[in-house]
Structure 1
Amino acid sequence: MKVRVADPGKRAMNKGKSGQGVRWIGPLHALLIGFSCLLVGQGCVTQGDFRKLEERVLDDDQRSKDRPNPFKQIAQLSAQVDALRGEQAKLAGQLEVAEKKADQALKEARRARRQLAAQSGEAAASDAAAEEAAEEEFSTDDAGVTSEELAAYQKALEAWRGDDHKLCIDRFRKFLQTYPASPHADDGAYWMADCHFKQGDYRVAVLRFNDVVRVYPTGNKAADALFRQGESLLKLGPGFHDAARTVFEQVIKDYPDSARAKQAQKQLSALGTG
């Protein structure tokens, strides 16, 4: 028995006449409808099958329309990248200006310290020279030093400049543990010992200054550290004067051309023959 089916072409025309409007169909939709019409004409499918097929095609067309345009997305991402690059360049410029201002402020601070030292005598002059030396360490060649290493050293030195002795000791200790082979290791050990001295831990300061001399005997802080060890011994009282005298004699012997040798000779004169 043959199944009679309605002509899909007539159904489309009737829909247009009824005022429902003519639906636009895409190429794939048209191809599938044409193929379905051929099958319907041969009696191979029912009207219900055709409707299901038509709904699937319409659904696929709608999904294709809803799918975002990849070229539009690429253009939007490119614009965002350009905006980020512009912002990065702006921040880099601001950082450069801030660094120049900070450098100028440091130079003015050093100038003020030198003027104060000239008015306050040799002890203040020595402290001012030490602070200036700390500032000038960063003008030396830092080839091979990682940015993380230099940042860690600078943070510790900032605590030393701010007279935050506990924080200074903690940061320099961590720096030395993390970067024992750093070209700034001897400087870090020296400033850590200096913080112990400034907070009144003279016994610990003796040991820490001795570490600088023992571990870095040819470093740029060796003569300073040995002299400061003698100063720390003097702070411990008369019972340690003989030990201090021995240390000052060692400064003159091992570092005769250093500025500390002259200061050590003055200390020996003040101590007398014992």
Structure 2
Amino acid sequence: MTTSTRPQAETDDRAAARTEADAAIRTLWHDFATEPTQRARDRLVLHYAPLVKYVAGRVGTGLPTHVDVADLIQSGIFGLVDAIEKFDPERGLRFETYAMQRIRGAILDDLRSQDWVPRVVRSRAREVQRTLERLGASLGRTPTDAEVAAELGISLAELRELYGQLRLTSVVALEALVAEGKESESVVESLPDEDAVDPAAVLVDRDNRKQLADAISQLSERDRVVVSLYYFESLTLAEIGKVLGVTESRVSQLHTRAVLRLRAKLQEHTGA
């Protein structure tokens, strides 16, 4: 084989391997749909297990050191099993997209049930959020860190240290901000049945997403970059730090600030 034909052959081999893998997973889903046995379910769990590790790693970024990623993975497995049992391949949604939401939701639910955030931290988070809402309403724009610090009666350095502490309360999917005040905090939980479209629900969802987009557009440029890279480009805090030329700790502070500001703006809009 000549040098010029070798890359093409390797490409063909990879394509053939992907085709074979796709056929195998389709067979797994067919077997499970035909006869949802424990064995069929376990084979699907094994196939999609890497998704759990990936999501657990993302959620675990910035959490306290005493939170074991292995525990997050264990919680995520329950989310994966739930996703497999409730997934309908006929609806056209990619299973990976559906499952990652379920996995993340299961992990966050377990973290919340453990009440692992100290009360004083939760109290400070509410205080900062109320301050952001109050200043935003009076100034007609997003307040700067200096203005927030002055309103709280602390220094800028102390505010940034506080943002670092408050990262414990900001482990939340961006879509949870859209669902603020609803019974379900996950977009996946409210995915419409394609055979029973509710026009009113579609309009409400469209309006919620528009509110979120408007709120993001009002963030500072750096906050917008952090939100975009973290939630839409799936970069870790460490990777974002390399892009921005700052430490991972600083990115964590920026992420927390952005989430708090988004919450304040959405609550200001809804009057919550």
Q: Shorter-normalised TM-score: what interval?
A: under 0.3
Higher RCO (CA 8 Å, separation ≥ 6 residues):
2
Q: What's the TM-score, normalizing by structure 1?
A: 0.23
Larger Rg: 1
Q: What's the TM-score, normalizing by structure 2?
A: 0.23
